[in-house]
């Protein structure tokens, strides 16, 4: 199963790379055309906006698989393994609910806008909302697999940490904790007497 998931995420990474390259070409090309030739690429803005939305949702799938979303584990890092499992399972169920909301909303918008044409390209606006559907289905499958591993006890402590702290925050905390003497033993500690 992991092989299929890794392959799928690798495919998504290649899609994101191609979308980014196309977006850069469209935007940069449009800037050059405007300034050098007083012209432009008509579809540049609309297609670039759609590519950016698709890149965001596809990148979120990969980040979910790699536990790359930013967050804090201030509470769960202090819990025993069973407490971590319970908190992780609750978080995964809540994320599945949010994914369901995103799926149902994106599907409704795609159906409503299926016959609506984009102003410049003339493509169906449902393509824009399909990114939410792809994200919701993919992330729901990943979350169900992760929830099964959590409930069955197959997930180890590293898998139960669902987020990553921002590197700069973690670095500041590490520096702060390393340089802080125990309470009352620092160079500026004072004993107050009456």
pLDDT value of position 132: 95
Residue whose C-alpha is closest to residue 139's, from 76, 111, 84, 97: 97
- CA 66 to chain CA centroid, Å, is 10
Alpha helix positions (H), the chain: 2-37, 44-65, 81-112, 126-152, 157-160, 167-179
Please name the residue that has the structure tokens 């390393």.
178
3-state secondary structure of 58: helix
Crossing angle between the packed helical segments 126-152 and 2-37, to the nearest 10 degrees: 150
CB atoms < 10 A from the CB of 79, how many?
15
CA 101 – CA 5 distance, rounded (Å): 23
pLDDT tens sequence across 60-75: 999 988 887 777 777 7
Domain ranges (residues) in the chain = 2-165
Among 8-12, 64-68, 137-141, where is mean pLDDT lowest?
64-68
pLDDT band at 187 (very low <50, low <70, confident <90, very high): low
């Amino acid at each position: 199963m992991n092989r299929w998931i890794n392959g799928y995420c690798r495919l998504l990474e290649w899609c994101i790379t191609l979308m980014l390259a196309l977006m850069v070409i469209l935007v940069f090309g449009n800037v050059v055309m405007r300034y050098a030739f007083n012209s432009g690429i008509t579809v540049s803005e609309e297609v670039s906006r759609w590519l950016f939305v698709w890149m965001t949702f596809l990148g979120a799938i990969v980040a979910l698989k790699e536990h790359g979303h930013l967050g804090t584990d201030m509470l769960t890092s202090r819990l025993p393994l069973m407490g971590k499992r319970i908190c992780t399972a609750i978080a995964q169920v809540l994320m599945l609910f949010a994914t369901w909301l995103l799926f149902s909303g994106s599907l409704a918008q795609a159906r409503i806008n299926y016959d609506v044409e984009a102003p410049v390209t003339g493509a169906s606006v449902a393509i824009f909302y399909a990114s939410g559907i792809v994200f919701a289905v993919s992330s729901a499958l990943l979350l169900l697999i992760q929830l099964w591993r959590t409930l069955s006890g197959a997930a180890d402590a590293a898998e139960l940490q669902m987020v990553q702290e921002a590197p700069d925050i973690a670095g500041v905390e590490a520096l702060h904790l390393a340089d802080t003497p125990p309470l009352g033993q620092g160079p500026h500690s004072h004993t107050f007497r009456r």
